[in-house]
Amino acid sequence: MEVFRQLKRFYWPEKKLLAVSVLCLMAATALGLVYPYLLKILIDNVIQNKEWGMVPYLAVSVLIVTSVKGIFQFFHGFTGGRIGNRVAYTMRNALYEKLQYLSFQYYDTAKTGDLMSRLTADLEAIRQFVGFGFAQILNMFLMVGFGAALMLYMNWQLTLLTLVTVPLLAYTAIRFEKKIHPAFREMRQAMSNLTTAVQENITGVRTVKSFAREPYEVEKFSVRNESYKSNQIQAASIWGKYFPVMELFACLCVVILLAAGGTMVIREQVTLGELVAFFSLIWYIIGPMFGIGFHINNYTQSKASGERILEILNQYIHVRNKDNAIALKDDEVIGHVRFDHVTFSYPDKSPALTDFHLDAPPGSVIGLLGGTGSGKSTVIQLLMRAYNAGTGTVSVDGHDVKDLTIESLRKQIAIVFQETFLFSASIRNNIAYGIRNVTMEEVERAAKLAKAHDFIMELPLGYDTVVGERGMGLSGGQKQRIAIARALLKNPKILILDDATSAVDMETEHEIQAGFKELMKGRTTFVIAHRISSLRHSDEILVLDEGRIVQRGTHEQLLAAEGPYLQTYRIQYADAPDGSAAAGRRQAN
């Protein structure tokens, strides 16, 4: 029960409703015991002793018991449903909130399909068990306990003979639970893998079709589907192995009752009515025993789901606010960024940055150039405190970013990622994302600076046009310009352009950069780019290679010295009329 002990904070606040549900269930179960007793009276008193006057009283009694029992069952079902849905609601919110605050490090390895499976299928299993499964297991014990108590009251010798196989049935059930739980956990994991395959395929469907890889994707899905099927068959085989044994022990109770009870009736040790009542009560006990496999099935599924949910809820958050963290004030931030000999490595990887040093005064423009994996994006991730620096210090306005609240730090930073993401919402809401009380004029001004206003106005509903999932329906350049407008509207003290103009043509890039010149005034700007034309106006350009700074200086200083920057420059301007650096310099300037 360790899993449910850890989940107690979600269902224990509903303990009053749970108590009402249990009391209603106990009352309904107890009233069910009246039927065998009325059956005994019908046979012994009415049929055998011909006391016909009792028939109306028996009929009215059955009607009253049925009605009252139905009322208790209604309130049990109603309260059980409310408990399950309230617990699921609270747990769903807690899971989603935890996912929002988990560090980038967690999402480096997490799979979207697996997370979706935990938020849906696993949570549904918990809801069903908390709302009804727990009550059904309790009801099973109540029925067995109440039935056995009434049987002992009527004839303890026949009761002991009849229930002699119950311990064997309980032992088999315990063995069954130990076998079925690992099988259900593997089945849940296989389901997560299947969901992940579907999610990845739908997300990358254009890539799949462009490479004509449909047969490969079908085969990949088939393999995971086969794994899920095998896990289901394994669970079914365990069920098929143990259920007949449990059914055999349950049926032995009936056989013993008929043999011993029939003999006692012949010897007039019990009445025929008592035997019939015993036969009814034994099913009151055997019925739950037949269902014990289902209850164990329900319990083990919910336990396996609970373990998967707890894996998220108990996940360590690597980047969090420290005690007494400082909140940056909007009117006091000037945007002075400093990296003081920072070294950083991603988990299980070689250093992404080594002894990185940078001093970016307020309002300066810093360019970062380097190949894939050189550490450019890592610089930005550390500045945003997506990760904590290993050694050295990253500071903003003299404050170590570890001493600042994450919310106030990131509020001062706006970033345009190379991979643009848009929400399934209107263009206006995408541009104004995360900003309260923004006017339409401000949205349009940001769009104009990003050179997005003209194409937006050509859309059917203008700024109210709803873009498709992940911005489908727009070109890459259009999506990138909307993302730029979103960053500009935030009016940050620190602006980060992570290859922000990679998806636009050279002419549009020139127009956007002209708008950036005005916007960059008074802001510290980091420009990550592969085009020299995007970096040439930087106050300082850092050339990175394998996490180390191999060159630094202004555009002119770097062109004057042999090195990676000049080599990149020559490659990009190789089509100049004379192919020389001088020609390239004239073209760039």
Residue numbers of the domain that contains 175: 2-313
Task: Name the pLDDT band for 206 (thresholds 50, 70, 90).
Answer: low
CATH number at residue 245: 1.20.1560.10
pLDDT of residue 440: 92
Specify if 39 maps to a domain. yes
The 10s digit of each residue's pLDDT in 262-289 is 888 888 888 888 888 887 787 777 777 6
pLDDT of residue 585: 46
pLDDT of residue 163: 77
CA distance linking residue 159 with residue 161, whole number of Å? 5
Specify if 156 maps to a domain. yes
Task: Name the pLDDT band for 340 (thresholds 50, 70, 90).
Answer: very high
Query: Is pLDDT above 60 for 589?
Result: no
The 10s digit of each residue's pLDDT in 504-529 is 666 666 666 665 666 677 789 999 88
How many domains does the chain divide into?
1
CA distance linking residue 258 with residue 271, whole number of Å? 13
Specify if 43 maps to a domain. yes
Q: Are 319 and 388 in contact (CB under 8 A)?
A: yes
Average predicted confidence (pLDDT) for the chain: 82
> What SS3 class is residue 334?
coil
Specify if 290 maps to a domain. yes
Output the DSSP codes for 168-234: HHHHHHHHHHHHHHHHHHHHHHHHHHHHHHHHHHHHTHHHHHHTT-HHHHHHHHHHHHHHHHHHHHH
Specify if 587 maps to a domain. no
Specify if 140 maps to a domain. yes
* CA 223 to centroid of chain Cα atoms: 24
Query: Is pLDDT above 70 for 538?
Result: yes
Residue with tokens 């069954």: 176
